[in-house]
Chains A and B, each alone.
Chain A
Amino acid sequence: MKIKIFSFTLYFKVLYMKSKDYLKDISEIKDLMNKSSRFISLSGLSGVLAGIYAIIGATIAYFLVNNYSYGTLLLDGQIFRWVLLDLILIALFSIITAIILTTRKAKKNNAKIWDTSSKRLIVNFLIPLVTGGLYILIILGQQKYGQAGALMLIFYGLSLVNASKYSIGDIRYLGYIEIILGLVCALFPGYGFWLWVLGFGIMHIIYGTWMHFKYDRT
């Protein structure tokens, strides 16, 4: 009788320990699936800063256009070149900030910054983005200026949606918002400036803050 009870409890003990192992197995499987297919060390803070740069840049452009070219932008003029430089600087600062903060976060997570998953993310992000950028430059060269803002928002949105498969899935929704803002911008080019500020400035700040509190503060 004693032996029977003993073997009975032993049996349950083994079963219990086994199920604990299985739970660990499942969580390890999930972890590996994520780690091997997605680059998740993106920093939310870099999104916030990109938004702030965009707003500063937009303020400068607004000031330039309203004070030096009387509200109309002559596209072969000096001011246009300044605005273009302004845009390039916003992009450059945003990229540098993203690289620095993401590297820092990857180090903290013990993840590699340059591995299969981050390469895949960058390639898939850049394909729609570079296509859009070249397309915008081409139509600017053909003196079609009206849709540049809308196209920037649309192609950026498509890049985010494409990249979301290889990173934090949530950036897909920011992509949708940018695409919608871009289409609205195409319909009402008169509001282009404000929609651009909303898409690249305010949305980045809101989204970055949300990402920061959701993923970074652990």
Chain B
Amino acid sequence: MLLASLLDLSRLQFALTAMFHWLFVPLTIGLGFIIAIMETYYVRTDNKFWKRTAKFWMKIFAINFAIGVATGIILEFQFGTNWSNYSWFVGDIFGAPLAIEGIFAFFLESTFFAIMFFGWNKVSKKAHLLSTWLVAFGTILSALWILIANAWMQYPIGMEFNPDTARNEMIDFWAIVTSPIALNKFIHTVTNCFVIASVVVIGISSWYLLRKREDEFARRSIRIASVFGLISLIIVIWSGDGSAYHVAKKQPMKLAAMEGMYRSQVGTPIVAFGILNPNKNISQLETDSLAYALEEPYLINISIPQGLSLLVDRKLNTFVPGIEDIIEGGYTYIDGDGNEQVAMPVRERMKKGKIALESLAMYKKAKEAGDEEGKEMALSLLKENYPHFGYGFIEKPTDIVPNVPITFYSFHIMVILGGFFILLFGLTIYLDRKELLTRFKWFHILAIVSIPLVYICTQAGWVVSEVGRQPWTIQDILTSNASLSGVSSSTVLTTVIMFFVLFSILLAAELTILFKVIKKGPGA
């Protein structure tokens, strides 16, 4: 019970910090590019209007950056304190990308940021523009390393476990860097940041239109943001499709939870809209299987026939496994090398995981006793069963199921809001073309309301990715439970409260300064 509470609190703290950090990062990344586009117009046309426009959005960028900067470091504090088993176990694989990111960010921030903010009239126009573009690209390169580290946790490759050090050691840097999950995640996340910044620019500009102020500034800002946002959103959707494809191959349980799908069929449908039956509880599968079987998975379900099969395998009749199918195994699937495989039941994987853990214990004992033969034997067993290592920590098969309602609703909220933003960008471009942007109050209000919606959308995406992969910190290799340190629950609870207070103050400070600057307007 104490452990469960420590796990929940540590997860809550990590989630709180990461989600707070993610309030700031996307706007910084996306706005950097929009500012660079505006400044490019300034350099090309020599029209002072664009300089004034770019400078205003730079102020918004600076406020957001100042409040958000270094909040991500708190996550690194937590690795050492709350997740020390994990941070040791991942070895240099996690450390190397984070170190590259840290060094890169430092040099970037101390040089090009300074030119961007202090360099007006001190360096040439072109040098200033180059700095602005370098800041924009620098922010996405920073994101790249973080996402590579995260992708490795979702799809661990390019490493070998060393039982002497209890660490996963990097043996193929390029395999980690070019992991299909990492590349997809990078494109999906960065273009998502572009969409967020575009919606924020459209929303703030619409506020000026609503107030009948800064007409030209607002219309031109909206024009750039709507086109940039729509192009980015198309890439978000394309990479989201790629994400689903990879999740189906590497994390099928996450996909099953995203769809709230317990039992599947050939030609698997996709849920376009649904409400889950709250009485369908997977933990009953082992304790009261009859009650479990009697409950339908959905109260309301509008599905597209064969949609999921088409999405994840580009074929109409593919079998996409549901939660129970994955637990029971026995279905056939095509592995990463294109070979047909029969899925192993979770109980079988649990046995192999226990063997892997016992082999590690045997290895340790043999090493202490100086028994070379024993070491060899244990190592061979460990290597053979290492792909199932994490299953050794699983107590019962249903423990590998993430929280279905949270994953399901987050996924569908994200998708529905994604659809809404296509309409928003399309409508904005249409109104701009027809020179109607200033006319409709309802549009201005819709655009302003879209700002919180775009943040809900991106946070929902993060929840799908991170809650959906539970109970793993490293897919199939390490569970969240086994990743924990021996820190006390009360210490974690104290810091959770402290973070909550600190973050609330920071957010209030950001919003206060932001509203003040927006109120003054670009003319100030």
Chain B binds chain A = no
